[in-house]
């Protein structure tokens, strides 16, 4: 039996944070669904199917069984692009986006220092600025020839050095960094910062 994917299905998948739509030869995607998937930058990929008899009793499988089966199929098909999202979020066709801050997974900004970690949460494709969460844990780093940025200290305290002048910022403070600056960010404890940078670095 053919499976039909319409615009409503795409909207539901996107709201759940899915960026990949798996289809097979029995799937029909309506033109409006394709257009909406393109608008959301969602990828449509052919799924790897095991023999029909292995899937014949899918109605009797639990949600956990289905998730495990899907993971197995993806691994066997060696499909890429299914990495876990670094954070949970909800979006609306209007452009509204709600990011669940407690789910954001930060990554080291360099191999040399795993105490300075960052995760972009809004890209320049979504906004006129890039936004991300920065965490410095008893460490420091230099930022040279910066883009203009606005930074909100979510938690903790840090020091900034610019043109040999030293400043301190604490929870709730907002730091505006002009473009083409060289800034030294440092903290002896732990600080979390919401960073917003303009698209143009020049």
Residue 189 lies in a domain: yes
Among residues 27, 44, 77, the one where a domain terminates is 77
Parent domain of 28:
3-77
Range 114-125 burial, b when 16+ CB lie within 10 A, else e: eebbbbbbeeee
Eight-state DSSP code of residue 110: S
* Residue 51 pLDDT class (50, 70, 90 cuts): very low
Count CA atoms within 13 Å of residue 69 on its CB side: 15
What is the distance between the alpha carbons of residues 191 and 133, in angstroms, rounded to a whole number?
A: 10
Is there a single domain that holds both residue 178 and residue 117?
Answer: yes
Is there a single domain that holds both residue 11 and residue 97?
Answer: no
Q: What are phi and psi of 110, to 5 degrees?
A: -150, 160
Is there a single domain that holds both residue 95 and residue 194?
Answer: yes
Q: What is the pLDDT of residues 57-89, one digit of tens each?
A: 555 666 666 766 776 666 555 554 445 678 888
Is there a single domain that holds both residue 124 and residue 183?
Answer: yes
Q: Domains in the chain: how many in total? A: 2
Q: What are phi and psi of 64, to 5 degrees?
A: -65, -40
Q: What is the pLDDT of residues 192-201, one digit of tens each?
A: 999 998 875 4
Neighbours of 20 (CB within 10 A): 15
pTM: 0.57
Residue 86 lies in a domain: no
Is there a single domain that holds both residue 18 and residue 41?
Answer: yes
Residue 82 lies in a domain: no
Is there a single domain that holds both residue 179 and residue 96?
Answer: yes
Is there a single domain that holds both residue 50 and residue 147?
Answer: no
Is there a single domain that holds both residue 98 and residue 179?
Answer: yes
| pLDDT for 201 | 45
Residue 119 lies in a domain: yes
């Amino acid at each position: 039996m053919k499976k039909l994917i319409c615009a409503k299905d795409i909207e539901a998948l996107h709201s759940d944070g899915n960026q990949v739509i798996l289809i097979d030869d029995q799937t029909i995607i309506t033109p409006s669904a394709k257009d909406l998937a393109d608008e959301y930058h969602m990828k449509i990929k052919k799924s790897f199917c095991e023999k029909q008899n292995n899937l014949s009793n899918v109605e009797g499988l639990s949600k956990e069984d289905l998730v495990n089966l899907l993971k197995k199929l993806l691994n066997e098909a060696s499909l890429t692009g299914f990495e876990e999202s670094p954070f949970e979020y909800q979006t609306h066709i209007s452009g509204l986006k709600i990011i669940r801050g407690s789910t954001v997974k930060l990554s080291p900004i360099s191999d040399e220092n795993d105490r300075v970690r960052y995760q972009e949460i809004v890209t320049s494709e979504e906004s006129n600025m890039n936004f991300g969460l920065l965490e410095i844990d008893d460490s420091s780093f230099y930022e040279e020839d910066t883009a203009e940025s606005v930074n909100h200290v979510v938690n903790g305290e840090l020091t900034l050095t610019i043109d040999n002048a030293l400043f301190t910022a604490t929870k709730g403070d907002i730091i505006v960094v002009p473009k083409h600056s060289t800034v030294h960010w440092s903290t002896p404890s732990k600080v979390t910062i919401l960073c917003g940078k303009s698209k143009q670095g020049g």
